[in-house]
Chain A
């Protein structure tokens, strides 16, 4: 379904701020699987999602999705296959436009946009039905501008928009991180419902160990632009939040050891 082959990306190459964000990531995801991505800050989780979505082009390696090589496709072309929800609730919706207008834009994801009237009566009916399923009462406010909604309401709508036309791949980039606990809970349940109902192939980045251990059928952990752990099947089901924290702790300790070892060497030889 999705196959990443040795993809690499360096930001600010040959400057003091050079960041090797992705260092040869290999990842293959089967149709219909729900993959959780965790990792420390700056480990490359979001960069990985952005590389797949086409926010930038990778320096090397290839990206194959749904049997097509999309490595050189621009972002808007990949949107035909990929649905996305961003971390920032302001990113996924047009604030100056109404709920209905935003949704009707999403209903045409990846299709050509001509001079046909966008909001026809039958479309409105469908909007109402689908928005009602969010259980937020927004179906009565379809003509309100999005800018007046809360972050949680916006993320719920963005989720609906990303999955309106069934995406071949759904990318969720810490989409509950900026929400209060109650909204985050609602959006997570919604995500789970949509993913399982439409059997969507999903890649979800999260900071929450709770989400990481409860959701998905496969879990990968990233560190310094590489995938360092990959759990699936029975191994994945046995993982508890404590186990994940222990893995993070191990990574941290290894790092500290590296630094003190380097310091020791420097003292001895310089």
Chain B
């Protein structure tokens, strides 16, 4: 049961990564690899600040801001200097590796006794229930601390998701969607598409870095390697989410991204429990995303062949 609660919590925390990847890959169709670096950036900066006794909320906000700057850099390299989108992200991601090492001063920072958002929520949960004993949920006994953190993560993600949805209903948010949907049209309506890309990637990577900051606080450490393959992870979550909600409607897609992230994390937890070698995790994830991208295409091709044969 502890395993299930843990998987749900990490799934929720990584859903912020999924939302970030959703903005870059789906809204802008910008294959932004920066996320691999900015999730680590968020974790590294938050951890380094927490060790310095900075308040966890301040540390998390700082992580968001740092990620936003990294995303904006990718956007500027692409739009101002005309560097290919994929390469812009790779450049920033590579640069971030060194920056992350500098921020942490070593390849990982443990958070053993530091106050984090996780410990704050745990303490609040214990204070609320009046004990740190296990609670019974549907016949299972679960530590109060774990349930508090899960509830905290849920509320946090809910607030971010609602704020994101509200943002896309504003004039600026709509212009941003249109910049991804039809750049020529929105330019003719007076919007600087380059600016939209820079702001969009900043928002995207801000969310990704925030996800990293929360992950570090939950796991109790930040590691310079933790970002590897995270873009694909986010993409897998979105693909599952899209399959779950079906429709291309923004509010549902945001909800789908969160559900997809949680479901994907659960599947991974089950697979690991069932004996999947953790070393194979990234390989399996990559194959999953490849299959999810290719299978619908092959199905359509087969269907059109069948139609031709019938005709």
Contacts and interface: CB of A to CB of B under 8 A. Distances in A.
Interface of A: 53, 74-77, 79-80, 82, 84, 86, 90-97, 101-102, 104-106, 108-111, 113-119, 145, 161-162
Contact of A79 (B173, B178, B182, B189): B189
A2 B68 CA distance: 42
Contact of A116 (B171, B181, B188, B191): B171
Contacts of A101: 174, 177-178
Contacts of B187: 75-76, 79
A94 B177 contact: yes
30 contacts: A53-B188, A76-B192, A77-B190, A79-B188, A80-B190, A90-B182, A92-B188, A94-B177, A95-B181, A95-B182, A96-B248, A97-B174, A97-B177, A101-B177, A101-B178, A104-B171, A105-B175, A105-B178, A108-B171, A108-B189, A110-B189, A113-B171, A113-B175, A113-B191, A114-B171, A115-B167, A115-B170, A115-B171, A117-B169, A117-B170
Interface string B71-105: 00000000000000000000000000000000000
Leading 7 A-B pairs by shortest Cβ distance: A79-B190, A113-B171, A94-B181, A110-B190, A94-B182, A94-B178, A96-B181
B172 interface: yes
A53 B190 CA distance: 11
Nearest to B181: A94
Interface in B134-192: 167, 169-175, 177-178, 181-182, 184-192
Contacts of B174: 97, 101, 104-105, 113, 118
A101 B181 CA distance: 12
Contacts of A105: 174-175, 178, 186, 189
A161 B188 CA distance: 10
B169 A119 contact: yes
Given A79-B190, A105-B178, A94 B171 contact: no
Interface residues of B, number: 23
Nearest to A91: B184
Contacts of B248: 96, 145
Nearest to A143: B249
Interface in B35-90: none
Contacts of B189: 79, 105-106, 108-110, 161
Nearest to A104: B174
Contacts of A92: 185, 188
A89 B181 CA distance: 14
Contacts, number: 90
Nearest to A96: B181
A116 B174 CA distance: 11
B13 interface: no
Contacts of B186: 94, 105
A132 B191 CA distance: 27
B247 to A, nearest CB: 10
Given A79-B187, A105-B178, A118-B174, 12 more contacts: A53-B188, A79-B189, A93-B182, A101-B174, A105-B174, A106-B189, A108-B175, A113-B174, A114-B170, A115-B167, A117-B170, A118-B173
Interface string B244-259: 0000100000000000
Nearest to A84: B188
B169 A76 contact: no
B201 interface: no
Nearest to B195: A76
Nearest to A106: B189
Contacts of A86: 184, 188
Contacts of A53: 188
Contacts of B192: 74, 76
Nearest to A77: B190
Nearest to B174: A118
Nearest to A101: B174
Q: Which of B174, B181, B184, B185 has the most CB of A within 10 A?
A: B185
Contacts of B175: 105, 108, 113
A162 B248 CA distance: 27
B193 interface: yes
Contacts of A102: 178
Contacts of A115: 167, 170-172
A76 B191 contact: yes
A105 B177 CA distance: 10
Contacts of A114: 170-172
A164 to B, nearest CB: 9
Most B Cβ at <10 Å: residue of A76, A82, A101, A104: A76
B28 to A, nearest CB: 12
B280 to A, nearest CB: 37
A94 B183 CA distance: 9
A111 to B, nearest CB: 7
A80 B248 CA distance: 31
A91 B190 contact: no
Nearest to A145: B248
A91 B182 contact: yes
Nearest to B184: A91
